[in-house]
């Protein structure tokens, strides 16, 4: 079943063979690789890729999707897979902007505190999977502002940097400045080998955070800024 998985020798041979036949370079990004494979008639796994969502209504070409509309009407979060997103052509948040967090417990806490209010949230659960990127692509096409907050450790900064490069002005880094890092500091030490992961950041804002990270050698986590995240959403979104 996993013979042609991406990253295995047979999978890489298949990818290079198809690229050679088409006379193109094979995409390195996992999401673009999936899109490319589907465009040539090969459908990779679309079930294990999923994302958690709150307050976003999904649309098919014919109608508002009744299942996802019901979750929004009941003020409940839902899980959507890449397979389910295959027939979705638009995403409409029930708020002027969408707030994206990396951590599952932060997502759950924000929902509990914002329930029955005007808010839209996405949880990527760390590195965004193809389903999360597909949903964010739909939001960008719709012109909805996206705000992203993640952990400020080497891995978290790398995720934020990739999203910033992908979405540009459509995505704003949220509470990810040097002063936010100082406020959210944890006791967890970051070893030198992990700090090296920050050397290839492109975003000036994240490079400034990485400088602080190298000074303190301690990670800063979303859980330590929960009150600020909640305040931002309430001040900017709720009641509008």
For every residue of the chain, DSSP letters joined together read --TT-TTSHHHHHHHHHHHHHHTSPPP-SHHHHHHHHHHTT-----SS-EEEEESEEEE-SSSB-HHHHHHHHTT--EEEETTGGGG--EEEESSSSEEEES-HHHHHHHHHHHTTSS--EEE--SS--HHHHHHHHHHHHHT--EEEE--BSHHHHHHHHHHHHHHGGGEEE-S-SHHHHHHTEEEEE--HHHHGGGGG---HHHHHHHHHHHHH-EEE-GGGGHHHHHHHHHHHTTT-
CA–CA separation, 229 and 78 (whole Å): 21
Q: What is the mean pLDDT of residues 105-125?
A: 93
% of the chain beyond a pLDDT of 90? 79
**Tens-place pLDDT, residues 8-36:** 999 999 999 999 999 999 888 777 787 78
| Mean pLDDT over each residue of the chain, to the nearest integer | 92
Q: What is the mean pLDDT of residues 144-170?
A: 96
Q: What is the mean pLDDT of residues 170-190?
A: 96
Q: What is the mean pLDDT of residues 181-193?
A: 95
Question: Range with the lowest mean pLDDT among 93-102, 113-122, 180-189?
Answer: 113-122
Q: Tell me, what's the pLDDT at 23?
A: 92
pLDDT band at residue 38, thresholds of 50, 70 and 90? confident
- For residue 240, pLDDT beyond 50: no
Q: What is the mean pLDDT of residues 118-124?
A: 95
Q: Tell me, what's the pLDDT at 28?
A: 83
Q: Tell me, what's the pLDDT at 237?
A: 59
| Higher local confidence (pLDDT), 47 or 14 | 14
- For residue 188, pLDDT beyond 90: yes
pTM of the prediction? Answer: 0.86
Question: Range with the lowest mean pLDDT among 44-48, 138-142, 185-189?
Answer: 44-48
């Amino acid at each position: 079943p996993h013979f042609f998985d991406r990253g295995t020798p047979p999978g890489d041979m298949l990818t290079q063979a198809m690229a050679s036949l088409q006379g193109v370079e094979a995409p390195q990004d996992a999401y673009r690789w999936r899109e490319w494979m589907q465009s040539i008639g090969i459908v990779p796994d679309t079930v294990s890729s999923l994302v958690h969502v709150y307050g976003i209504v999904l649309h098919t070409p014919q109608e508002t999707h009744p299942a996802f509309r019901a979750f929004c009407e009941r003020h409940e979060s839902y899980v959507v897979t890449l397979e389910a997103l295959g027939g979705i052509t638009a995403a409409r948040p029930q708020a002027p902007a969408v707030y994206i967090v990396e951590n599952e417990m932060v997502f759950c806490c924000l929902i509990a505190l914002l329930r029955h209010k005007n808010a839209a949230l996405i949880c990527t659960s760390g590195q965004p999977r193809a389903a999360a990127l597909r949903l964010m692509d739909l939001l960008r096409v719709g012109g909805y502002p996206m705000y992203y907050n993640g952990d400020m450790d080497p891995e978290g900064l790398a995720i934020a940097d990739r999203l910033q490069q992908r979405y540009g002005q459509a995505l704003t880094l949220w509470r990810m400045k040097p002063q936010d890092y100082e406020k959210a500091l944890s006791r967890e030490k970051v070893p030198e080998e992990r700090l090296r992961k920050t050397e290839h950041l492109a975003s000036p804002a994240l490079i400034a955070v990485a400088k602080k990270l190298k000074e303190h050698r301690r990670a800063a986590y979303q859980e330590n800024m929960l009150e600020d995240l909640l305040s931002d959403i309430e001040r900017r979104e709720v009641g509008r």
